[in-house]
Each structure stands twice: as structure tokens, then as C-alpha cells.
Amino acid sequence: MALQLSSSMLRSTSRRFASAAAASGSLDRLQSTETFEKVLDKFAQIRACAVLRTATSEACPKAMQAAIDGGFKIVEFTLTTPNCLNHLTDFRQKYDGDVMVGCGTILTTKDAEDAIDAGAEFIITPVMLPDVIEWCKERNIVCVPGCQTPTELVNAYRCGAPLQKLFPGVAGGPMWVKAVSSALPFLAINPTSGVDLDNAGDFLKMGAASVGLVAPLFDPTAVAEGNWDQIAQNAAKVMANVREAGPYQRKK
């Protein structure tokens, strides 16, 4: 399936998304508060995001399609994937209103601008970047920054991040999340590294707001061999475990 856009098509689509974002106010790329809340509600309802990085552009849409076919309704394209923004735009157009599409490995506000123009509905950073978090906060864009320690999680929250990504994984896994979320109940923690097909539900039951699935979902061998059925099966398995945990009660 050929999903890659030409450069001219991407520019045209990017302008359309940028114009729609700007229509709600004078600040560039400003989103409405309703859109902001809708994104957070979707995270609370679905509670799992498929996080994809592939070595080749060709593998990207096939792998993400397999995850969606297996049941994922929130997906993240990472900037380390060749032609990431082209693929993001394609999937946003194809699944708008059904599958929520975001962009990860955002390191600068320029990265965030490009991602929003391409159609990203949320922003993910690998580390705690106050300038990106604040840029997103000013524009009612959900930003989920990477944090390693309780201190970083709290600082991300104070900067305006409504969800905080736990990355990389920590010793103790779900029990670490339980301890931290119990002591700091205002946090909404999103573990990514260390989450697999079997323990995703455990993280959620122990207090995580949502989880991100990377290599356990997009098994590198399956991707290399083009075994998209295996990825769809992985997706179905983990989403079944996630659904058992039920929806997340947002802290408003």
C-alpha cells in the first residue's frame, strides 16, 4: 500500500492543518480548549499508544497499519523514521476522528511546529524540554514529555504537561508507578520503555494513566521480515490486556 505523499501534496495538506489550527485564535497554531480536552479524553479512554520508529520509510505505514488493524486507536510516528511527517499526514487524513495521531521525538519548538502543520494531534518529547512544553501549553496542544525521575515528572507537570511520559524504563516497573502515583496523585504517568504485551495492563492497574508500546509491539524481527500479521496479533493481545484495566479517571 503506497501511503507516501509527494512533497507538494504534503505542503498543501500542512497548510490546511495549519490554517485550521490558527482559525481559533491569533496565536500561531492555537488549538481550542475543546480539542485539548478531546485529546486527553481519548488517552483516558483508550490508554495505550502505538509508538513506531522504523529504519526505512517503506516499512513505516505497513507496520502502523498492522497495529491499527490489531486494535490501536492512538498512534505516534517518531521523527527518527524516514519521511515521518509524510506518513503522519497520510494517516491523519485516512483516520481523522477515529484514530488519534501524534508525533514523537520532538526536540525543538520548530519540530513541534512542523508536526502540528503535518496534522499531529499531540506532541511527545523524549526528555523534559520546558521550552517545548510551554510552547504547547500556550497553544492548547497536549505535550507528553519524557521524564526519568519523580522530580522530572513533577517539573513537567508544573511546566504545563497534562501527561508525563516515563522514559526510559525504571526498576520495579508497575510497582514503581504505584509508589510514585500514590505519593504524587496529581501526576498522569505514561510509561513507555519497559511496557510489554503482558504487563501493560499491570502498569495501568497500578496507577499509570496510559502506556506506550514500542519494540514489544513492533517486534524488530517481524518488521524486518515484513510479518505484519504478527504485529497485528501483538496489537490485539496487548489491547485486550489494556481493556481489562478499564478507562482512566482524569484528574481535572
CB 133 within 8 A of CB 159: yes
Q: Extract the C-alpha cell encoding 109.
A: 519548538
Among 114, 91, 101, 97, which residue's Cα sits nearest to residue 14? 114
Residues 117-138 pLDDT 10s = 999 999 999 999 999 999 999 9
pTM for the model stands at 0.90
> How many Cα atoms sit within 13 Å of 44 on the Cβ side?
14
Average pLDDT over every residue of 210-228: 98
Give 252's pLDDT tier (boundaries 50, 70, 90). confident
CB proximity list for 164: less than 8 A, separation 6 or greater: 144, 145, 147, 153, 156, 157, 187, 188, 189, 190
Whether the per-residue pLDDT at 162 is higher than 80: the answer is yes
Percentage of the chain modeled with pLDDT above 70: 90
